[in-house]
């Protein structure tokens, strides 16, 4: 009888470990992974800043990018008023500047290009 009571409790020792592992899995997929994705998107947006972009800073200041350095951005917040911000201080891009296409159309026939 003593042996029968002990054998039923053996599987109960794994249950807390499985529950903790599931809890960590849920925490990873619900909190950590989305946060990493947002951070990567913000870094990509900040790296893609170019003169002419209209942006909003984390403080809510609207401005137009007039210059970009390695780790700073020069914003024009009013005509003739320029301020310098760190790249991470840019919260979002309101409107991107029109970028010229740098690719040239490829001609299908080499003789057509010479004419």
Query: Domain segments of the chain: what residues?
Result: 1-47, 49-98
- Which tokens is 79 given? 């005509």
Closest CA to 87 of 58, 108, 115: 58
Q: 55 with 49: CB under 8 angstroms?
A: yes
Q: Which residue has the higher pLDDT, 79 or 110?
A: 79
Q: 41-57: per-residue pLDDT in tens?
A: 999 998 999 999 999 99
Q: 61-109: per-residue pLDDT in tens?
A: 999 999 999 899 999 999 999 999 999 999 999 988 776 555 455 445 4
Q: 91 with 58: CB under 8 angstroms?
A: yes
Quote the pTM value. Answer: 0.61
Q: Domain 49-98 belongs to what topology?
A: SH3 type barrels. (2.30.30)
Q: What is the pLDDT of residue 97?
A: 74
User: Any idea what DSSP says for residue 106?
Assistant: P
- pLDDT band for 110, please (50, 70, 90 cuts): very low
Count other C-beta atoms under 10 Å from residue 46's C-beta: 19
Helix intervals (H) in the chain: 2-8, 15-27, 33-47, 110-114
Closest CA to 74 of 107, 52, 93, 94: 52
């Amino acid at each position: 009888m003593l042996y029968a009571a002990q054998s039923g409790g053996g599987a109960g020792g794994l249950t807390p470990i499985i529950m903790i592992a599931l809890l960590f899995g849920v925490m990873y997929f619900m909190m950590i992974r989305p946060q990493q994705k947002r951070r990567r998107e913000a870094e990509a947006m900040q790296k893609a800043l170019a003169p002419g972009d209209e942006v909003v800073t984390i403080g809510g200041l609207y401005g137009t990018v007039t210059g970009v350095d390695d780790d700073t951005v020069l914003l024009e917040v009013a005509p003739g008023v320029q301020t310098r911000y760190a790249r991470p201080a840019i919260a979002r891009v309101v409107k991107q500047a029109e970028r010229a296409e740098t690719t040239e159309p490829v001609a299908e026939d080499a003789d057509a290009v010479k004419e």
